[in-house]
């Protein structure tokens, strides 16, 4: 229901501001055990020294870790050769390796029976486990099957499959023979898939008959057939079974399972140069047409290896639970490459957070004894709308680290995650990064024992990361309280190498605006304690009477109201002020209050806590979640901006929307508002 006028006269009181001062790291970074390489670094006696060393001696730092953490076929002879102006990044030059060997073979040799993958299928209690030895066999079989079917080193292979051991084996099978995978989220419509196939010149598509998410069947093979009919490049489609349903056949089809079963369980790994492409992956498309981001072999492997270990405090024997889909970078780096390169047991989550009920994540944590749990703020927000008993009935004592990624996490969600899920005992880690950074760039961990975790901010740059805040004058501002564009000053090993087929767009998007820096597109503030707080996308920063105001901060205040589930604030043109805020507010389930009163309360809170200029005069209320979100759960504010100013016809690329139907509801609501 969309509310445009007052309803019932009950309004709950606004809760006081979260007063939590955060917590302390439960386990600090241990120099001698976490990083035995330390003996090579002169003058490093503390975590702080080590971080400083990593940015003042990057080649020595990364070179040492590159040698000790990666198994090389031929050692590298130069650590880095980078040029920010040209967007040219080379790491570990002269080195040769195979990423699949690093993720599987070396663990299969030492601990063959250790579980590598736990597949938590759509229906709870339907888990399947795959050991390292079994994974090695499967990866080799997939690799041989690809080779037998004509896939060569350097070919692009589209993987349009649900999160599953077969999909992981497909990614690693590509890596084994030097093919470049492009995972496309299984759920994208045929047009989106066709666009990605065409852009990458894909000849081989790997898919399944169907997939199931939240009990709902998605016709993957049918989507592939439609996409392939529109593309000029595809030569073969390998189809594996997920549900076993009868699906249509075309002359391009090959039975993937049958071909894999016949293939040999040993496949000689291809010798890859450090800078050969490992994969390409399209960004979420929150801001426009998705970009085909390219990552290469060694630098990406090393960076995801280290961040998975240190940001999450991964210890041997832990069960690592990142619930992201493999269609996103989080799935690549923290479901597959990071954990497997460390020989971890990693969870593959095929379902949805509210299926069959809002306790699904916590039921899984209890059953699988998950130690690190990593999800998106949108998941947390959707769960805190429901009763806490969905969390509290499970034994969550295995959890040590709770992390989030994808959007700024608001205080209410952070606090709920910390107290209700973590019982106040876990490190809650907001992690900021992007498809383009390859791995986590800013997060509260690692740091020294007992160091602070400030609620709802990403805080500390990872080793080798030097954030820089660029002001509107194009100059770096290093003062406490500085607020501006979030840039990174010095390249790190997993920085994106290019946008596939469009290096010009790569330069234009990330390097030309602030010459000499990588520009992330996000805003950041350095707080009074010297910690970094991401403020949202620069496009979402409003300029109200010359004052710059991030939408995330206004949303944070609105979201705290006990009747509000989620909100999105956008800037719309204003004759005098330049821009003014417009708020979309989703109320919690069962809220039947006086909406006019709720609006007044929210405006009052924003005025009190931020300032009068930040108060949205116009507010759109709805009691069902109709915010337009990408399939990775991010709010597409550009659509909301258009709807707020009645430009219903000019919504731009909406192909990455999870629920395209919400757009019509928003438009109807906007018309009713007047």
Query: Which residues lie below 8 Å from residue 671, measured CB to CB, with a gap of 6+?
Result: none
Based on the shown chain and the rule CB under 6 A, indicate whether residue 483 belongs to the binding site for ligand ATP.
no
- In three-state secondary structure terms, 40 is helix
Minimum CB separation of residue 460 from ligand ATP in Å reads 13
Q: Angle formed by the axes of helices 58-69 and 298-311, to 10°? A: 90
Nearer to ligand ATP, 226 or 539 (CB): 539
Among the listed ranges 157-165, 345-353, 400-408, 606-614, the one in contact with ligand ATP (CB under 6 A) is 400-408
The DSSP string of 427-481 is EEEE-B--GGGSS--B-S-S--TT-EE-TT--B-BPTT--EEEE-TTS-B--STT
Minimum CB separation of residue 117 from ligand ATP in Å reads 23
C-alpha pair distances (Å), 589 with each of 183, 382, 619: 35, 11, 19
3-state helix, strand, coil in the chain (%, to 5): 35, 25, 40
The three-point CA angle 329-330-332 to 5° equals 60
- Check if the beta carbon of residue 347 is closer than 8 Å to that of residue 336: no
Separation of alpha carbons 336 and 338, rounded Å? 6
> Residue 242 binds which entry of ligand ATP, Mg ion, none, with Cβ cut-offs from 5 to 8 Å by kind?
none
- Check if the beta carbon of residue 441 is closer than 8 Å to that of residue 497: no
Q: How many residues does the chain have?
A: 674
Nearer to ligand ATP, 51 or 634 (CB): 634
Based on the shown chain and the rule CB under 6 A, indicate whether residue 408 belongs to the binding site for ligand ATP.
yes
- Check if the beta carbon of residue 350 is closer than 8 Å to that of residue 162: yes
- Binding to ligand ATP (CB under 6 A) within 307-366 occurs at 328-329
Among the listed ranges 78-86, 431-439, 638-646, 663-671, the one in contact with ligand ATP (CB under 6 A) is 431-439
Q: Which residues pair with 442 in a beta bridge?
A: 432, 461
Nearer to Mg ion, 209 or 436 (CB): 436
Nearer to Mg ion, 283 or 307 (CB): 283
Sole binder of ligand ATP in the list 431, 494, 603, 655 (CB under 6 A)? 431
> Residue 405 binds which entry of Mg ion, ligand ATP, none, with Cβ cut-offs from 5 to 8 Å by kind?
ligand ATP
Structural tokens at position 365:
């944590």
Sole binder of ligand ATP in the list 272, 534, 602, 640 (CB under 6 A)? 534
- Check if the beta carbon of residue 128 is closer than 8 Å to that of residue 350: no
Based on the shown chain and the rule CB under 6 A, indicate whether residue 549 belongs to the binding site for ligand ATP.
no
Nearer to ligand ATP, 41 or 433 (CB): 433
Nearer to Mg ion, 100 or 283 (CB): 283
Minimum CB separation of residue 586 from Mg ion in Å reads 24
Minimum CB separation of residue 350 from Mg ion in Å reads 26
Rg value, the chain, Cα = 24
- In three-state secondary structure terms, 532 is strand
- Check if the beta carbon of residue 92 is closer than 8 Å to that of residue 76: yes
Separation of alpha carbons 296 and 299, rounded Å? 7
Nearer to ligand ATP, 284 or 603 (CB): 284
* Residue numbers at the binding site for Mg ion (CB under 5 A): 283
Of 467, 465, 468, 443, nearest in space to 454 by CA: 443
Structural tokens at position 599:
């609006």
Based on the shown chain and the rule CB under 6 A, indicate whether residue 655 belongs to the binding site for ligand ATP.
no
Minimum CB separation of residue 534 from ligand ATP in Å reads 4
Nearer to ligand ATP, 178 or 285 (CB): 285
Minimum CB separation of residue 628 from Mg ion in Å reads 16
Nearer to ligand ATP, 147 or 460 (CB): 460
Sole binder of ligand ATP in the list 201, 448, 521, 578 (CB under 6 A)? 521
Among the listed ranges 228-236, 254-262, 432-440, 608-616, the one in contact with ligand ATP (CB under 6 A) is 432-440
Minimum CB separation of residue 283 from ligand ATP in Å reads 3
Nearer to ligand ATP, 170 or 405 (CB): 405
Nearer to ligand ATP, 178 or 377 (CB): 377
Minimum CB separation of residue 300 from Mg ion in Å reads 17
Sole binder of ligand ATP in the list 634, 641, 642, 670 (CB under 6 A)? 634
DSSP at 420? I
Based on the shown chain and the rule CB under 6 A, indicate whether residue 653 belongs to the binding site for ligand ATP.
no
Nearer to ligand ATP, 210 or 435 (CB): 435
Among the listed ranges 168-176, 196-204, 227-235, 425-433, the one in contact with ligand ATP (CB under 6 A) is 425-433
Burial 414-448 (b: 16+ CB within 10 A, else e): bbbbbebbbeeebbbbbbbbbbbbbbbbbbbbbbe
Separation of alpha carbons 600 and 140, rounded Å? 63
Separation of alpha carbons 99 and 22, rounded Å? 38
Minimum CB separation of residue 18 from ligand ATP in Å reads 17
Number of H helices, E strands in the chain: 22, 33
Of 82, 205, 1, 13, nearest in space to 497 by CA: 82
Sole binder of ligand ATP in the list 274, 304, 382, 520 (CB under 6 A)? 520
Contact track, ligand ATP, 282-311, x by CB under 6 A: -xxxxx--xx--------------------
Separation of alpha carbons 500 and 289, rounded Å? 13
Among the listed ranges 66-74, 278-286, 556-564, 615-623, the one in contact with ligand ATP (CB under 6 A) is 278-286
Binding site for ligand ATP (CB under 6 A): 283-287, 290-291, 328-329, 405-408, 430-432, 434-435, 458, 520-522, 534, 537, 632, 634
């Amino acid at each position: 229901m969309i509310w445009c006028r007052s309803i019932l006269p009950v309004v709950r009181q606004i809760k006081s501001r979260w007063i939590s001062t955060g917590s302390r790291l439960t386990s600090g970074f241990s120099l001698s055990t976490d990083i035995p390489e330390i003996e090579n670094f002169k003058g490093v006696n503390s975590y702080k020294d080590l971080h400083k060393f990593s940015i003042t001696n990057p080649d020595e730092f990364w070179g040492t870790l590159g040698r000790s953490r990666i198994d090389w076929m031929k050692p590298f002879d130069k650590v880095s050769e980078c040029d920010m102006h040209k967007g040219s990044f080379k790491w570990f030059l002269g080195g040769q390796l195979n990423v699949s060997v690093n993720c599987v073979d070396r663990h299969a040799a030492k601990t063959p029976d250790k579980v590598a993958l736990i597949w938590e299928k759509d229906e709870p209690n339907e888990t399947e486990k795959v050991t390292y030895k079994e994974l090695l066999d499967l990866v080799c079989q997939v690799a041989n099957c690809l080779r037998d079917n004509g896939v060569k080193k350097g070919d692009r292979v589209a993987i349009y499959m649900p999160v599953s051991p077969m999909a992981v084996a497909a990614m690693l099978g590509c890596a084994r023979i030097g093919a470049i995978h492009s995972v496309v989220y299984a759920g994208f419509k045929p047009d989106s898939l066709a666009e990605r196939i065409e852009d990458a010149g894909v000849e081989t598509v790997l898919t399944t008959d169907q997939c199931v998410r939240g009990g709902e069947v998605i016709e993957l093979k049918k989507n592939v057939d439609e996409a392939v009919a529109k593309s000029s490049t595809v030569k073969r489609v390998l189809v594996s079974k997920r549900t076993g349903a009868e699906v249509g056949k075309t002359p391009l089809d090959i039975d993937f399972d049958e071909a894999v079963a016949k293939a040999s369980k040993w496949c000689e790994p291809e010798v890859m140069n450090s800078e050969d492409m490992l994969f390409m992956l399209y960004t979420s498309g929150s801001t426009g047409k998705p970009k085909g981001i390219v990552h290469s072999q060694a630098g990406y492997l090393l960076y995801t290896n280290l961040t998975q270990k240190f940001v999450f405090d991964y210890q041997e024997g832990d069960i690592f639970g990142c619930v992201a889909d493999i269609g996103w970078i989080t799935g690549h780096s923290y479901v597959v490459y990071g954990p497997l390169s460390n020989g971890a047991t990693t969870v593959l989550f095929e379902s949805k957070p509210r299926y069959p009920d809002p306790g699904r994540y916590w039921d899984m944590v209890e059953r699988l004894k998950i130690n690190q749990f990593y999800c998106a703020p949108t998941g947390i927000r959707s769960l805190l709308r429901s009763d806490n008993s969905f969390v509290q009935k499970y034994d969550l004592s295995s959890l040590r680290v709770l992390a989030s990624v994808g959007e700024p996490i608001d205080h209410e969600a952070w606090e709920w995650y910390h107290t209700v899920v973590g019982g106040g005992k876990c490190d809650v880690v907001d992690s900021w990064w992007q498809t383009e950074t390859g791995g986590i760039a800013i997060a509260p961990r690692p740091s020294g024992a007992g160091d602070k975790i400030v609620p709802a901010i990403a805080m500390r740059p990872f080793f080798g990361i030097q954030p820089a805040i660029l002001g509107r004058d194009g100059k770096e501002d290093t003062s406490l309280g500085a607020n501006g564009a979030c840039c990174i000053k010095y390249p790190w090993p997993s920085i994106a190498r290019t946008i596939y087929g469009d290096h010009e767009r790569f330069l234009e998007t990330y390097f030309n605006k602030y010459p000499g820096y990588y520009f992330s597109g996000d805003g950041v503030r350095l707080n009074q304690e010297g910690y970094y707080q991401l403020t949202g996308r620069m496009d979402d920063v409003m300029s109200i009477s010359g004052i710059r105001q991030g939408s995330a901060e206004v949303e944070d205040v609105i979201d705290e109201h006990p009747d509000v589930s989620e909100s999105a604030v956008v800037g719309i043109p204003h004759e005098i002020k330049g821009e003014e805020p417009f708020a979309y507010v989703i109320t919690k389930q069962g809220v039947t209050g006086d909406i006019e009163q709720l609006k007044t309360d929210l405006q009052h809170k924003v005025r009190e806590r931020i300032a009068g200029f930040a108060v949205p005069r116009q507010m759109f209320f709805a009691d069902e979640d109709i915010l337009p979100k990408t399939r990775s759960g991010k709010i597409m504010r550009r659509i909301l901006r258009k709807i707020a100013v009645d430009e219903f016809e000019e919504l731009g690329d909406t192909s990455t929307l999870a629920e395209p139907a919400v757009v019509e509801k928003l438009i109807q609501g906007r018309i009713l508002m007047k």
